[in-house]
Amino acid sequence: MKLNSKIPSGPLAEKWTNHKFNIKLVNPANKRKYEIIVVGTGLAGASAAASLAELGYNVKAFCFQDSPRRAHSIAAQGGINAAKNYQNDGDSVFRLFYDTIKGGDYRSREGNVYRLAQVSVNIIDQCVAQGVPFAREYGGLLANRSFGGAQVSRTFYARGQTGQQLLLGAYSALSRQVANGKVKLYPRTEMMDVVVVDGKARGIVTRNLITGAIESHSAHAVLLCTGGYGNVFFLSTNAMGSNVTAAWRAHKKGAFFSNPCYTQIHPTCIPVSGDHQSKLTLMSESLRNDGRVWVPKTIEIAEKLRKREIAPRDIKEEDRDYYLETKYPSFGNLVPRDVASRNAKHVCDEGRGVNETGEAVFLDFRDAILRDGEDAVRGKYGNLFDMYQQITGENPYKTPMKIYPAVHYTMGGLWVDYNLMTTVPGLYALGEANFSDHGANRLGASALMQGLADGYFVAPYTVGDYLAGLSYEKVPEEHPEFRKAEDEVKARVKQLLEINGSKTVDHFHKKLGKIMWNHCGMARNAAGLTKAKEMIRALKEEFWSDVKVLGTGEELNLSLEKAHRVADFLELGELMVEDALHRNESCGGHFRDEYQTPEGEALRDDENFAYVAAWEYLGDGKDEALHKEELVFENVKLTQRSYK
Amino acid sequence: MNLTLKVWRQKNASDKGDFKTYKISGISADMSFLEMLDVLNEDLSDKGEDPVHFDHDCREGICGMCSLYINGQPHGPNQTTTCQLHMRSFKDGDTITIEPWRARAFPIVKDLVVDRSAFDRIIQSGGYVSVNTGGVPDANEIPIPKVIADEAFDSATCIACGACVAACKNASAMLFVSAKISQLALLPQGKVEKRGRAEKMVAQMDAEGFGACTNTGACSAECPKEIKQSNIARMNREYFTASVSTEKV
């Protein structure tokens, strides 16, 4: 199968405008004859469901949480980019496009990214009209701040809770359509499979998480807005429930999965404190503006720190290694996320980590406090310092913070064309669930932008184009394909409950997480990846013969829910490893030890790897088939990133 | 540390339910309260007993999914969400009583899990600005004084966890409802519909079976996001103005 990205022809700046004119429209009176399923109610899902309902389509919206407002978009802190140029500092649609392509290490599509930059300005207008309380200047106009990877101030924010406020805006628009009768909500409902009839997505099968009922829902199109798969690592900054199940089931029904190995590791998270740990908490990147990153110069001193024989403040200036400042004199502590993360891992691997586990570096505010005073530091970061103290019990005004990188975002996802349609006609993927806009590395404040761009301003056009060519008739839910999918789901529930083995679901999830983190995390190499593949296969086998899932399928059963998700993570993990192993280069979040510059930076191979890897599922136990979509760069020149 | 847990167990909505006592050991002060419950659940699973069901998701204090009434206080002794409560707030040998939110409008689903969909229905009754996607003015065409924007923001930080309802002896939802009414009534975008909104949301709140407000302030005192009681005063003002006004919006 030849992948067709369907990027419209013509100059970059006119592609989206021309495309919108060329796509087919559905007559307003006929829109009510179509039904659309939206799975997931985060930024992408809630905005898409609301916008499509406003147009007149009938929408069914599904989420596994108890309310659409709980989707994990809510936890985004920093902000949302938009090329408004309100600051008169030289921003433009082209500059936002350029920064995003470069930040992604030249592994994303020009056409998609340019459109993203174009609609970014509409997003801010939309959110303000909904009553989203963005930060403002005293004159009453909107405030901006700067963020990593950009030299202009284009980030709009709502204190440290931008994701929350944007999601509540989209949730309010969604709620309005529920009241209008155009959206029917299905909370506490998990999608278990996509139903494909005559090559087109025609609905889904779900499990009601309260009653356990397996149900079919027929529709004319299905939109997956189900987020990323960072929880394959067990420990990540994702919510506990975030999972790959919907995307993975779609993959097994014919949707190609792209660049699964592109994972973003965020450098400033609170380190793991023990085996009991269930999730990792992000500390905003903004802390690196004033905090200095260091570890002791020698292993001996680090050893004493780990045994608590000395305190951090006892270590003399000449015994401290401010490794980022030494190595990258011009960017210092503000190097991009991937570079900061890799260097932290490097010094800890040398045995210079500073906490009991040996996996932490200091982020020290001593000098900022001496220079600006404690009150000034409190003014800027007070809430973050409080949060840190709440979690660790240590006072960062008195002793340096300890941080370590953690899995934060996944750039890979379901392959989609310019219309956000997967390789299954009628099946779409929006937001973090698709692969399209961030290449091999996402810039800060761009995830919120992409989720809302897809939902408010792209899907409402492109889904209509598809529906216009479709008859009004729905496939009945009694169709054999629906029955078959239901039976498969029921059989799987039964199978999981009957194994009655000796180990809990979490046991397997933790083991998988360790394999992924050690061999497919911040740095990868062929030997480790090959080993990981075997280990995951063995673990998968053990899971299906020895997992213990208690209770029944006809009630709220958290271990059963988890078992379904972990089973899918086990399969995805293997594909991630396969993808990382085949990509014989380093780019963005994918760093292969074998491919680095003499200075230890990521070494791309544009000649052989400037493509999107799209994997096709061929059946259980079989290796997946690789398809390549060549990336064409007509408007930017590919260069080596340097932050020295 | 070693602890004794008295946990509310209830198989489903129709089951009567009662407390069960569990001993738990090897808990470190660095664990979060929910991680302590994870340990309990791993123990129970190993023994073949059904784990304790509780709601949780982001575990960073923002999604509003976690609940739990701990030793008589929603979200426990600190003014945080349960997921941000850490075991260093307890002592070795403590007995901890864990119950679900108790309110008629929040029926129990299982163990510590309750149904808070009443909150969604209240928002659906009017907690929005009626604008469609597209066709809106440029964001900077609506200047808003910083103090007003900040005040609206304070109200907008509500996470809809329901602690206010659990804290209130009348199980009133006034703090939750008033936070949304305030946010939108303060902002020019939301002013257009403010009266109709207050009437509709209050009507829905009453229909859901939440109790009346007697101004004891327990809701604000327990709110993990420190939503102020002054929101309730603003809601009442909006509501009464609406009820005596002939203006239909």
Averaged pLDDT for residues A147-169? 89
Q: Which residue of A has its CA nearest to B48?
A: A550
Backbone angles phi, psi at A384, to 5 degrees: -70, -40
pLDDT of residue A642: 72
Nearest residue on chain A to B62, judged by CA atoms?
A: A75
Query: Domain of B153: which CATH number?
Result: 1.10.1060.10
Whether B149 and A273 lie within 8 Å, measured CB to CB: no
Contact of A168 with chain B, judged by CB distance below 8 Å, is answered with yes
Q: Which residues of A touch B49 (CB under 8 A)?
A: 550
Q: Which domains does chain A have, with CATH numbers?
A: 265-407 (3.90.700.10), 480-624 (1.20.58.100)
Residues B127 and B99 in one domain: no
Q: How far is A176 from chain B (nearest CA, A)?
A: 6
Cβ separation B153–A159 shorter than 8 A: yes
pLDDT score, position B247: 63
For residue B140, give every residue at least 6 positions away whose Cβ sits within 8 Å of its Cβ, in sequence order, or none. A86, A141, A142
**Which of the listed residues B51, B86, B110 is the one where a domain comes to its end?**
B110
Interface test mutation site (partner B, options A390, A463, A559, max chain B beta carbons within 10 A): A390
Q: How does pLDDT run across A434-469, given as a tens digit for each residue? A: 999 999 999 889 999 999 999 999 999 999 999 999
Percent of chain A at pLDDT above 90? Answer: 88
Where are the alpha helices (H) located in chain B, listed in sequence order? 33-46, 117-124, 146-156, 163-167, 174-186, 188-191, 194-207, 218-222, 230-244
In a shared domain, residues B77 and B33 = yes
Within-domain flag for B102: yes
Q: pLDDT tens digits, residue range B149-167?
A: 999 999 999 999 999 999 9
What tokens appear for A378 in the block? 């409190």
User: Which residue of chain B has the CA closest to A48?
Assistant: B133
| Per-residue pLDDT band at A275 (split at 50, 70, 90) | confident
Residue A621 pLDDT grade (very low, low, confident, very high; cuts 50, 70, 90) = confident
Assigned domain for B220 exists? yes
Written as six digits, the tokens of A537 are: 């296969």
Do the domain assignments include residue B53?
yes
Tell me if chain B has a CB within 8 Å of the CB of A361: no
Domain boundary among B46, B77, B110: B110
Q: Is the pLDDT of residue B249 over 60?
A: no
Rounded CA-CA distance A594/A227 in Å is 31
Structure tokens at A281: 């908490």
Q: Are residues B78 and B153 in the same domain?
A: no
Residues B126, B237, single domain; the answer is yes
At B248 the pLDDT is: 58
Residue B99 in any domain: the answer is yes
Its domain, for residue B155, covers: 116-244
Q: Residues 6 or more apart from A237 whose CB is under 8 A from it?
A: A75, A230, A266, A269, A279, A280, A281, A282, A406, A407, A408, B60
Check A129 against B152: CB less than 8 A apart. no
Residue A384, amino acid: L
Answer yes or no: do B65 and A70 touch at CB < 8 A: yes
Q: What average pLDDT does chain B have?
A: 96
**The pLDDT value given to residue A311:** 95
- Given an 8 Å threshold on Cβ–Cβ distance, is B38 in contact with A168? no
Contact check, Cβ <8 Å, A65/B65: yes
- Closest alpha carbon within chain B to A139: B145
List chain B residues with CB under 8 Å of A61. none
B27 and B86 together in one domain? yes
| DSSP single-letter state for residue A158 | B
Report whether A64 contacts A189 (CB < 8 A).
Answer: yes
Are B148 and B65 members of one domain?
no
CATH code for the domain in which residue B47 is found: 3.10.20.30
Interface contact A134, partner B, CB < 8 A: yes
Average pLDDT on A363-368 reads 96
Answer yes or no: do A457 and B50 touch at CB < 8 A. Answer: no
Residues of A in contact with B184 (CB under 8 A): 131
- Looking at the fold, whether B58 and B141 belong to one and the same domain comes out as no
B20-43 b/e with 16+ CB inside 10 Å = b?
eebebeebbebbbbbbbbbbbbeb
Same domain, B19 and B103: yes
A293: enclosing H helix or E strand = strand A292-296
For residue B131, tell me if it sits in a domain: yes
Q: Are residues B103 and B42 in the same domain?
A: yes
Q: Residues B106, B143: one domain?
A: no
Read off the amino acid at residue A140. Answer: G
Mean pLDDT of A498-505: 96
Partner-chain residue, chosen from A128, A159, A173, that has the shortest CB–CB distance to B142: A128
Using one digit for the tens of pLDDT, what is the confidence trace for A4-55? 999 999 999 999 999 999 999 999 999 999 999 999 999 999 999 999 999 9
> Which of B59, B86, B139 is facing A240, going by the closest CB pair?
B59
Contact A172 B123 (CB under 8 A): yes
When pLDDT is cut at 50, 70 and 90, the band that residue A334 belongs to is confident
Of A158, A274, A392, the CB nearest to B153: A158
Confirm whether B249 is domain-assigned: no
Q: CA angle at residue B132 from A82 to A474, to 5 degrees?
A: 110
User: Average of pLDDT values for A74-101?
Assistant: 95
A56-65 pLDDT, tens digit each: 999 999 999 9
Phi-psi region of B111 (alpha: psi -120 to 50; beta: other; left: phi over 0): left
Q: Which of B110, B127, B155 is the last residue of a domain?
A: B110
Say whether residue A25 is in contact with chain B using an 8 A CB cutoff: no
How many residue pairs bridge chain A and chain B with CB atoms within 8 Å of each other?
Answer: 207
Which letter does DSSP use for residue A392 in this model? H
Please list the active-site residues of A.
337
Q: Concatenated DSSP letters for A78-132? A: S-EE----TT-SS--HHHHHHHHHHHTTT-S-HHHHHHHHHHHHHHHHHHHHHT-
Nearest Cα to B215, choosing from B230, B195, B225? B230
Answer yes or no: is B145 within a domain: yes
Considering CB atoms only, which of A54, A67, A279 is closest to B59?
A: A279
> And the tokens for A107?
């592994």
Would you tell me which residues 46-105 of chain A have a C-beta closer than 8 angstroms to some C-beta of chain B? 47, 50-51, 54, 65-72, 74-75, 84, 86
Q: What is the mean pLDDT of residues A362-368?
A: 96
Decide if pLDDT at A560 tops 70: yes
* Cα gap A594→B24, rounded to integer Å: 48
* A603 at B interface, C-beta within 8 A: no
Residue A355 has pLDDT above 80, yes or no: yes
Under DSSP, is residue B23 helix (H, G, I), strand (E, B) or coil? strand
Chain B residues near residue A122 by CB distance under 8 angstroms: 134
Tally of domains within chain B: 2
Q: List residues bridging with A155 in a β-sheet.
A: A81, A145
The answer to whether A550 contacts B57, with C-beta atoms less than 8 Å apart, is no
The pLDDT value given to residue A644: 75
Contact check, Cβ <8 Å, B133/A392: no
Same domain flag for B57 and B173: no
Residue B69: inside a domain: yes
Say how far apart CA A53 and CA A55 lie, in whole Å: 5
**B85 and B136 in a common domain:** no
Nearest to A239 among B42, B63, B119 (CB): B63
Q: How would you class A27 by CB atoms within 10 Å of its CB: exposed for 0-12, middle for 13-18, buried for 19 or more? A: exposed
Q: What percent of chain A has pLDDT over 70?
A: 100
Nearest CA in chain A to B58: A239
pLDDT at A330: 82
Q: What is the mean pLDDT of residues A520-546?
A: 97
Whether pLDDT at A260 is above 60: yes
Between chains, do A67 and B49 touch, taking CB under 8 Å as contact?
Answer: no
ipTM of the predicted structure? Answer: 0.98
